Amino acid sequence: MRSIDDFADTFDDELIAKLDDNNILGRLHFSTVDGLDSSGKIEKLYFFGARGFSIFRASNMTLVYDSGDEVEKMIAKFYPDVFNTNTKPDDADEDKPIDFFDKRSDNLGPECESVEIGELGGRRILFVGVDRTAAILIYSLESGEVVPTFESVYRAGGRDDTFQNLLDNRNLGDLDPEDLKFIPVSESVTGVPMLMVTSTVSGTISLYEVYNDSSTMSTTEPPNPTMTTGNGIILISSKVLYFLSIIFGFLILQW
C-alpha cells in the first residue's frame, strides 16, 4: 500500500484514492522504480503484464499499433467465466478453471505469450496465444494495413470441472499456449491449413484446422466452430490429429 506522500504533487488525487481501494485499483501491481520525478516520487504509473500485443514498423521499430485492452474485452465477452483466470491449480482434485476468475488481473493480466502469422485465402492472419485464459485470438491484417481486424477467439477444454477430471478426460485444452506454428495447406497432411499449439502447463501439443467460412477449402461445414465475428475466420480442432501427453500433464498438475 502506497502513501499519498509517495506521489508527486501533479498526480491525480482521484486516481490515488482508487489505488487505495481494493474494489477498484487497489490490487493492481505497478512499478515503484519507473515513472518517478526528480525527487523520487511517482508521477506516472507503469503496470506489469502482457495485456495485449503491439505491431512495430520493421524499418525503424516505431510503434504503429497497440491492442490496448481489446484482448481482455474479447475474453470478457466470449469467455467471461475464465476472465484473467489462472492455469495452475493449488489442488488439481478440487480446483476448476472457473474458480480462478479474475485472479490475474492485478499483476500480469491475460498474458499474451505467443504470436504466429499465416496466410489464409490471400489474407495475412495473426494468431495470439493468451496464457492465462488458455485461448487463441485470431486477427486478419490486410495488405498495406497496420491495424488488424478481430476475427474470432477459441478456447479448447472444459472450464467447470476439476483440473484432474479434465486431465483424465483429455479435456484440459491448451493451458498456457507458449508457442504457435502455422502450417500452410501445402504442408498440411489434411489438405487444410493448420495451427500447431504447444502448451506448457497442460503438457499438450495440439493441431487445429483453420477455416475461412468464405473460402472453398472444404465442401462441408466445419464441425463445432468457435464464436466468430468480423470476416468469419474460425479455428476448430482437427479430428485427424490431436496429441495429449498424459504423463507430462499429470506431472505439471501435481507440481
pLDDT at position 25: 77
pLDDT above 90 covers a percentage of the chain that reads 29
Position 118 pLDDT exceeds 90: yes
Q: Exposed (0-12), middle (13-18) or buried (19+): which is 250, by Cβ within 10 Å? A: middle
Grid coordinates standing for 55?
505491431
pTM for the whole structure:
0.77
Instruction: Look at strands 149-154 and 135-141 and give their pairing.
Output: antiparallel
pLDDT tens sequence across 55-66: 898 889 999 998
Confidence category of residue 255, pLDDT binned at 50, 70, 90: very low
Confidence category of residue 250, pLDDT binned at 50, 70, 90: very low
Bridge partners (DSSP) of residue 115 are 128
For residues 128 and 139, the answer to whether their CB atoms sit within 8 Å is: yes
Q: Which phi and psi angles does 175 have, rounded to 5°?
A: -75, 115
